[in-house]
Structures are given as C-alpha cells and as structure tokens.
C-alpha cells in the first residue's frame, strides 16, 4: 500500500512541474507501470519484466547488452541493457523518448541513482 500511495502522490505532483525545464521524470523498477509510462519517462525494469519485441513477449533479462526498441505495457520504449552498471550487475533502463541516446538514458538514470545513494547514506546512520 505504501508504494501505491507514493506513486499516486508522484503522479499528482507531475502537472506542477509544467513550468520548469524538466528533461525527464524518473521512476525505479518498483514504480514503472502503465500509469507512470508517460512522455519523457526514464525508468528501470526488473529482469523478469516482459517486453514485446517482434510480436514476442520476452523477459528483459534474456536480452544481451545493447539498445532495443520494444513495447512495455502497451507503450513503445527504448530499452538499454548494461551488463555491469556501476558495479551492481546488469541494469535494464528504459525511456519513453525513443530519440534518447544510450548516453541520455544512462545519464538520466545515473543522476537518479546518485541522488538515491545520497539519501540512503544518512538514512542508514539513523
């Protein structure tokens, strides 16, 4: 229930960002769903998330490292599979902006990752 509340709050706040120069909205794998896949959304998918490629439903964990144009939950996305993301193993990043380069997706996702790590550090100290 807590994650649903966080998603609902996030979605309610998105319209208030309209006056700012926002390049992308970023969600991690717990929050990427059909409601959060909007224009200019960058996210992370779990390895068992199924995408449609060439009419087949395939878990993203089966893709080799690379860049793919696929469909996730009815939305076209650019999927970026990286074998070793910052020493944490395989990463499955996505963008609803099909014109994003792999560098755009990696940078946008990396910024979110770095902010999350910054927040987790002090929280772990109590």
Give the 3-state secondary structure of residue 78. strand
Between CA 15 and CA 114 the distance in angstroms is 25
Asked if residues 96 and 39 have their Cβ atoms less than 8 Å apart, the reply is yes
The pLDDT confidence band at residue 1, using thresholds 50, 70 and 90, is very low
pLDDT band for position 6 (50/70/90)? Answer: confident
For 31-41, how does the pLDDT look when each residue is reduced to its tens digit (9 = 90+)?
777 777 877 88
Output DSSP code: residue 1: -
In this predicted model, what pLDDT tens digit does every residue of 45-99 receive, in sequence order? 999 999 999 999 999 999 999 999 999 999 999 999 999 877 778 999 999 999 9
Average pLDDT of the chain to the nearest whole number: 83
- Residues in a beta bridge with 82: 91
CB neighbours of residue 90 within 10 Å = 14
CA–CA dist 96, 59 (Å, integer): 18
């Amino acid at each position: 229930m807590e994650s649903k509340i966080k998603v609902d709050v996030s979605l309610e706040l998105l319209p208030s960002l309209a006056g700012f120069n926002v390049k992308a909205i970023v969600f991690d794998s717990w929050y990427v769903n059909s409601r959060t896949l909007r224009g200019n959304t960058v996210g992370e998918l779990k390895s068992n998330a199924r995408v449609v490629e060439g009419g087949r439903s395939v878990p993203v964990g089966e893709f080799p490292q690379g860049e793919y144009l696929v469909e996730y939950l009815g939305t076209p996305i650019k999927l970026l599979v990286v074998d070793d993301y910052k020493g944490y193993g395989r990463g499955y990043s996505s963008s609803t902006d099909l014109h994003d380069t792999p560098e755009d997706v990696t940078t946008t996702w990396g910024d979110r990752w770095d902010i999350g790590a910054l927040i987790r550090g002090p929280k772990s100290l109590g």
